[in-house]
Amino acid sequence: MKSNLIRILSIAAIAAVLLSGGPSPAYAAKIRVVTTLTDLADFSREVGGDLVEVNSLATGVEDTHGVPMKPSFVPIMNRADLLVLVGFDCEHAFLPALLEASKNPRIQIGKPGYVDASVGILPKDVPKSTDHYQGDVHPYGNPHYILDPVLAKTAVGNIYNALAELAPQHQAEFKRNRDAYLAKLDAKIAEWKKQAAPLKGVKFVSYHEHWPYFADRFGMVYFGTIELKPGIDPTPRHIEELISSMKAEHVSIVLREPQFPEKVPSQIAEQTGATLVTLPIMPGGIPNTETYIKMEDAIIHGLLAAEQARENAHAMK
């Protein structure tokens, strides 16, 4: 199936090149940036300003590991000057085929246009084994570091470095944009830490293991996942054991990412007395989260509201 998809996408890429007269020059009127996810797109727009044209393959509602591949992605990637990705093998299920189909030498692995936003990040949960029985294991560690706003600053810096290298004549403008955005992000981080003080020590589960970096940053206790293993749906036995352990350990929040169905998280919340909350993992995942800062605002406020609801329910008993 993968080979057929690559063949289809390759044909689309060739057609795009023929129609456009060949690959676009690296220094077009605007620098063309393609990102895998929407948070990276937001960072790229903030740093690049009016000098960039940014397209995200994801819209915010997809599984970060399995963004559906569309033929329309191929001409976008064929013309790209930069490709920005999360790294740590997050995009392993869709990006390699798209890179091959794009026929764009500028954005291949090892080229300056291939921008791994994870450079400088120390990964969590690097597996000791990558056997398939462990699930959709990432051999380089958990890739969901951007949900920690402090680590997100590293991704912003890597995007700045790539833009400055590609277009050094605009380095001063990129630096101003970067510094202004990081100052705004630093102010929000201080605000979020203050707001999140009541969440310190609060235990929660989520559907997928998106949250270890976030939990560590804000002092929460990441109790586990509804998935049996990454990418593997829960079994009835796993759900039963999770419910039992959540009751014993007084886990108060069930966090559902919008990429996953609500039925099982709702069932677990009901049977444990925890509060169910749906929160985004990318900008655009739920309404009014079109930027990274708005997304983080929604996450903090959603968790606070869930914890307050639990406290109110407990007080009424």
Looking at residue 139, the DSSP 8-state letter turns out to be T
Residue 6: per-residue pLDDT: 47
| Four-residue CA torsion sign, 97, 98, 100, 105 | negative
Exposed e or buried b per residue across 78-111, where buried means at least 16 C-beta atoms within 10 angstroms of its C-beta: bbbbbbbbbbbbbbebbbebbbebbbbebbeeee
Type of residue numbered 230? P
Look up the CATH number of domain 196-316: 3.40.50.1980
Residue 132's pLDDT is what?
Answer: 47
Domain range list for the chain: 26-117+124-192, 196-316
CB 167 within 8 A of CB 51: yes
Q: What is the per-residue pLDDT for 265? A: 97
pLDDT number for residue 110? 95
Task: Please tell me the number of Cα atoms within 13 Å of 30 on its side-chain side.
Answer: 13
Per-residue pLDDT of the chain in tens (317 residues, 90 and over written 9) = 444 444 445 444 444 443 344 444 444 489 999 999 999 999 999 999 999 999 999 999 999 998 999 999 999 999 999 999 999 999 999 999 999 999 999 999 999 999 999 999 999 988 876 554 455 557 789 999 999 999 999 999 999 999 999 999 999 999 999 999 999 999 999 999 999 999 999 999 999 999 999 999 999 999 999 998 888 889 999 999 999 999 999 999 999 999 999 999 999 999 999 999 999 999 999 999 999 999 999 999 999 999 987 777 666 66
Interstrand relation of 221-225 and 82-85 (parallel, antiparallel or unpaired): unpaired
From the DSSP assignment, how many helices (H) and strands (E) are in the chain?
A: 10, 8
Phi, psi for 76 (deg, rounded to 5)? -65, -45
CA distances from residue 90 to 57, 65, 96, 312 in whole angstroms, order as listed: 14, 6, 11, 38
Using DSSP's 3-state secondary structure scheme, residue 224 falls into strand
pLDDT of residue 315: 67
The architecture (CATH level 2) of 26-117+124-192 comes to 3-Layer(aba) Sandwich (3.40)
Fold agreement (26-117+124-192, 196-316) = yes
Res 129: pLDDT: 63
Q: Which two tokens stand for residue 221?
A: 């206790």
pLDDT at 137: 58
